[in-house]
Amino acid sequence: VLALLRTNALAVFPWTLSSSGAVLIGTGLYVWVSGVNRNTSPYFYLALLGALFLALGPYLRDYLQHHSPRRARLEACLIPLFCASMVALLLLPFGYYFLFFWELMALLGFVLICLEEIEGGKLEAGSGKPESNDVEVPIPATLTLRASTLLGARWFFLASRFSGAGLLLAFILALRDNRALPEWLNTLVWIGLLIGFGTKAALFPFSLWLPRSHPVAISPLSALLSAGMTKLGLYGLFRAPDWMGRPPSWVDWTLIVLGLIGAVYALVRGLSEQDYKGVLAYSSIENLNLLLVMLGAYWLTGQPLFLLAFFYHQLAHALFKGTLFMASGVLPSQSLGQLGGVWAKAPFTAGVSLVAAVAAAGLPPLAGFMGEWYLVLGLLKTGSILTLAVGVLGLVGALALVLYVRSFGLVFLGAPRSEGVADTAEATPGMRLGLFSLVGQLVLLALLPAQVLSGFGSVLTYPVVPISIAMVLLGFGLWRWLRRWPKRLYNTWDGGYGLLEPRMQPSGLGYSELALRLFPGFALKHTLKPRDLLEELHGTISNGYVWLAGKFQGLQSGSIHLYLMLQFVALLIVLGVAFL
């Protein structure tokens, strides 16, 4: 942690970040593998974050070259601080300092997203054309519209406030931990925890902020947010029974039911999303909601397979989603309607994304499949009405498959849909190193599930190594054989007209239209327009919050009497709760 905090120079910090990442992986995995109990679970998350930091170091070093020096320096300081606040959070028990770092993490995340906005705003002010030092920027950063960034940052901020408020509620109520809480207070505490941690972990109705705010951040930051920060919400929920006692069973059912609904909802919305990083963010919601289902099912039944699923899938999700988000950093645009054929320009990035997309679609033998395998087996072992959730998992699996075929296919394959694609630059060596380390870890994770989970004792796995070997050997043989085959280069078959245009390829919405017809809530008029009541509700709430915040600004007038009065009232509330 100290090593992270001490750094403040652009030249040093990537290496510090990487090396501290490596240290975190080493220590984290060592402790985690040596035995799983309530005290070692933070080490699992340390290892998870370490894996991300390790890749982020070299990636950032090259990525920040494209930013103006001032901004790059600022980011070089803030990103390690953000990382450090996440690490500090894991080392602390639930309490005042935990809340402090929780808020610090949210605040730093917000500031980092806002940096994008400031830069984007400058761009717009500069007569719509990039300044000279920004011209050759191959990253989406400067193309982002100011308005959407502002909106994204606002969503992020509001979600953080929501989450912080929930935690504070739980914290205040649980101050009196020496006595058992009455039933209704315990309910309130768990509501607070569900809102507090659930918002960060994208629990279903509180998940809309994620696809709004993660895509507008710079790619490495969205990787860090989506793959790293959201996991801390899961960590909080996982540890909550240690701090607050056994959750009541309505919490378990809430997690399971909302998680299943949320996973389907996120994928359906993801299919109607036109922004590549937005699609990835929706897929994050799906994975996080499945993880919440695993946790809820574990609490409900005590079946250890759910716990295996919970931990394994978190690691898998962090790695493949980190890869996908970081790889999206080379794209010239984020709109599915303007991309296509990026493979020809950036083969390494595309290949890495393909591996991650196969994992993210939950296909064997890569890591994304294992979590779902454990989950279904766990559901089978319970043999109760809960087993019917398998049907929903089937739907989720199919939807995820379509989602990733769509997003990968439209971005990396086919013909370019706009001229901007021609300017795509392949990832620089540092970025490649970062991406490679993530994919390497993803493959290792897929091949060594028993070793990663060995803290649980000898765990059930399917014979992943023989199957992978068979697949790689056969695949490689066939590949060589087909590459050597005599072939002829020719145009794509165009029905004999010779008029094939990129526009004839399916567009982002055209691709998913047929599938979206299956689900309610999509008005198919001239364009496909999702009508989302949930989103409108969120809008109302956030407007209300801003209005309320405006009213409360009157309190911050600097009047010492008012402050003293406020403190007195706060003290009264705390005492009231404690003596109730």
Partner 1 sequence: MTALFLLLLAPLFTGSLKWLKARLQHRQGPIVFIDYLNLGKLLRKIYVLPQLASPVFILGPLLSALGPLLAAALLPILPSLSFAGDFLLVVGLLNLGRFSRALAALDTGSPFGGQGSYREGFVALLTEPGTLLALTAVALTSKNFSLATLPNPSAQTSIAIILAVAALALALLAEGARVPIDDPSTHLELTMIHEAQLLDHSGPLLALYELASALKLLVYVALIALLLPFNTLLSFFLVALIAWLGLAYLETYSMRIKYSRLPDLMIYNTAAGALALLGMVLRVKL
Site for partner 1 in 393-432 (CB under 8 A): 393-395, 397-399, 401-402, 404-406, 408-410, 412-415
Query: Which 49-88 residues touch partner 1, going by CB under 8 A?
Result: none
Does 296 engage in binding with partner 1 (CB under 8 A)? no
Return the number of the residue (483 or 526) whose C-beta is nearest partner 1: 483
Question: Among residue numbers 455 through 494, which ones bind partner 1 (CB under 8 A)?
Answer: 460, 462-463, 466-467, 470-471, 474-475, 478-479, 481-483, 485-494
Mark the segment that binds partner 1 (CB under 8 A) among 172-180, 240-248, 428-436, 511-519: 511-519
Kind plus residue range of the DSSP H or E element containing 407: helix 389-412
If the CB atoms of residues 70 and 487 are measured against partner 1, the closer one turns out to be 487
How many residues at the interface with partner 1, by CB under 8 A? 85
Report the alpha-carbon distance of residue 120 to residue 105 in Å, rounded.
Answer: 23
Segment 82 to 141, residues that bind partner 1, using CB under 8 A? none
Residue 437 to residue 53: CA distance in whole angstroms: 10
Minimum distance between the CB of residue 403 and partner 1, rounded to whole angstroms? 9
Query: Which CB, 74 or 389, lies closer to partner 1?
Result: 389
Q: Which of 73, 55, 47 is nearest to 18 (CA)?
A: 55
Alpha-carbon distance values, 408 to 269, 360, 362 (Å): 17, 11, 14
- Segment contacting partner 1 by CB under 8 A, of 41-49, 239-247, 291-299, 501-509: 501-509
The single residue among 16, 85, 284, 505 that binds partner 1, judged by CB under 8 A, is 505
Smallest distance, partner 1 to C-beta of residue 431, A: 20
Q: Which one of residues 385, 533, 548, 560 is an interface residue with partner 1 (CB under 8 A)?
A: 385
- H-state helical runs in 92-182: 96-125, 146-173
Query: Which stretch, 12-20, 280-288, 289-297, 362-370, contacts partner 1 (CB under 8 A)?
Result: 362-370
188 φ/ψ angles, rounded to the nearest 5 degrees: -60, -45
Say if CB 340 and CB 421 are below 8 A apart.
yes
Region near partner 1 per CB under 8 A, out of 73-81, 206-214, 373-381, 426-434 = 373-381
Identified binder of partner 1 from the candidate list 272, 349, 512, 542, rule CB under 8 A: 512
d(CA 240, CA 273) in angstroms, rounded, equals 34
Nearer to partner 1, 291 or 399 (CB): 399
Question: Read out DSSP for 425-456?
Answer: -PPPHHHHHHHHHHHHHHHHHHH-HHHHTGGG
C-beta of 180 vs 471, nearer to partner 1? 471
By C-beta, is 208 or 379 nearer to partner 1? 379
Whether the bond between 365 and the residue before it is cis, its omega within 30 degrees of 0, is yes
Q: Does 369 bind partner 1 (CB under 8 A)?
A: yes
3-class DSSP state of 335: strand
A 10 A CB-CB count for 354 gives 17
Which of 358, 367, 431, 459 touches partner 1 by CB under 8 A?
A: 358
Quickly tell me which residue has 């507090």 as its tokens.
196
Of residues 308-347, those binding partner 1 (CB under 8 A): 340-341, 343-344, 347
Cα angle 519, 404, 395; round to 5: 40
> How many C-alpha atoms does 282 have within 13 Å on its Cβ side?
21
Note whether 525 binds partner 1 by CB under 8 A. no
User: For the chain, what is the largest distance between any 2 Cα atoms, rounded to a whole number of angstroms?
Assistant: 87
Q: Is residue 66 helix, strand or coil?
A: helix
Site string for partner 1, 201-240 (x = CB under 8 A): ----------------------------------------
Helix, strand or coil for residue 530? Answer: strand
Q: Does 377 bind partner 1 (CB under 8 A)?
A: yes
d(CA 113, CA 153) in angstroms, rounded, equals 6
Q: To the nearest 10°, the Cα dihedral for 249, 251, 257, 260?
A: -120
Integer-rounded Cα Rg, in Å, for the chain is 24
Residue of 38, 246, 517, 531 that binds partner 1 (CB under 8 A): 517
CB nearer to partner 1: give 75 or 372.
372
Q: How far is the CB of 66 from partner 1 (least distance, A)?
A: 26
**CB-wise, 517 or 529, nearer to partner 1?**
517
- Tell me how far CA of residue 413 lies from CA of 343, 436, 501, in angstroms: 6, 21, 14
502 is a site residue for partner 1 (CB under 8 A): yes
Question: Could you say whether residue 514 binds partner 1 (CB under 8 A)?
Answer: yes
Whether the CB-CB separation of 181 and 174 falls below 8 Å is answered with yes
Minimum gap (Å) between residue 344 Cβ and partner 1: 7
Q: How far is the CB of 506 from partner 1 (least distance, A)?
A: 4
Q: Which tokens go with 505?
A: 């390829």
Shortest CB 339 distance to partner 1, Å:
12
The answer to whether 90 touches 42, Cβ cutoff 8 Å, is yes
Residue ranges in 253-282 that form contacts with partner 1 under rule CB under 8 A: none
Please say which residue, 215 or 378, places its beta carbon nearer to partner 1: 378
Residue with tokens 């809102």: 195
- In the structure encoding, which two tokens stand for residue 78, read together? 């803030």
3-state secondary structure 48-93: HHHHHHHHHHHHHHHHHHHCCHHHHHHHHHHHHHHHHHHHHHHHCC
- In this complex, which beta carbon is closest to partner 1, that of residue 32 or of residue 310? 310
